[in-house]
Amino acid sequence: MSKKSNSFPIKYWSEDDQPREKLKDKGKTVLSDAELVAILIGAGSKEESAVDLCKRILSNVDNNLSTLGKLSIKQLMEFKGIGMAKAITILAALELGRRRRLEDALRPKKITSSHTVYDIMQPIIGELPHEEFWILYLNNSNKILHKNQLSKGGITGTLVDVRLVLKNALEVGATALILCHNHPSGTLKPSKSDRDITRKLKSAAQSLDIKVLDHLIITEKAYFSFADEDLL
């Protein structure tokens, strides 16, 4: 059979159309997101193939895997063809992917650009429903000595203790700081309080010969860099 039918299980498709065979023969990178999720659930329904079911699910979350991972088991089970076991399998796989990204982010790295900071911090704070303020403490080579969550607050903002920031900097021997916080709302525009705390920390750090290299506002898909926008 060379052409797949929506009413046929995956095992009756041609090998070129079977996600498992495709991964085995051609590698994981050639598969679409829908095909990869289809491998997880194994089968669709009488009316819909596993891949078409997964395409439908992904289209409902704008083809965003992060959004898919935020759905509850109950929400996934609202899709015809997804039962409890399939919903749990999908969420477990996406959570493993999130944890893998987090492990990569937590490894000490050298900061070479604002994008490096984003790659490190996005898995940590980019998808949170509340705001958190973090400090990266760097040495003379711009390698991260320590990362510290300074405050955790509601969606309206956080409180930042300047004295604690500098105390931690001295304890780890940092010569530079990078400030990071997330905006759960998704907006990248710095607020007045964002600008004020940046100036306050920069001024206080200068008295100890510690530089504030950047301040990043991080959202799920993008970031704003004070340094890149010449706001430092």
Domains of the chain: 10-103 (1.10.150), 108-225 (3.40.140.10)
Give, in degrees to the nearest 5, the angle at Cα 222 between 217 and 96.
105
Nearest one of 224, 226, 218, 222 to 128, comparing CA atoms: 218
Q: What is the pLDDT of residue 160?
A: 81
| Percent of the chain scoring above 90 in pLDDT | 50
Is the pLDDT at 223 greater than 50? The verdict is yes
Mean pLDDT of the chain: 86
Model pTM above 0.85: no
Q: Tell me: the pLDDT tens digits for 75-117? A: 999 998 899 999 999 999 988 887 887 776 656 578 999 999 9
Given a contact cutoff of 8 angstroms between Cβ atoms, the answer to whether 14 and 4 are in contact is yes
Give, in degrees to the nearest 5, the angle at Cα 182 between 178 and 186.
135
Q: Tell me: the pLDDT tens digits for 200-222? A: 999 999 999 999 999 999 998 89
| Percent of the chain scoring above 70 in pLDDT | 88
The mean pLDDT value for 62-72 works out to 86
Q: Using pLDDT thresholds of 50, 70 and 90, give the confidence band for residue 135.
A: very high
Q: Tell me: the pLDDT tens digits for 169-193? A: 999 999 999 999 999 989 999 999 8
Q: Using pLDDT thresholds of 50, 70 and 90, give the confidence band for residue 151.
A: confident
Give CA–CA dist 142/108, Å, rounded: 11
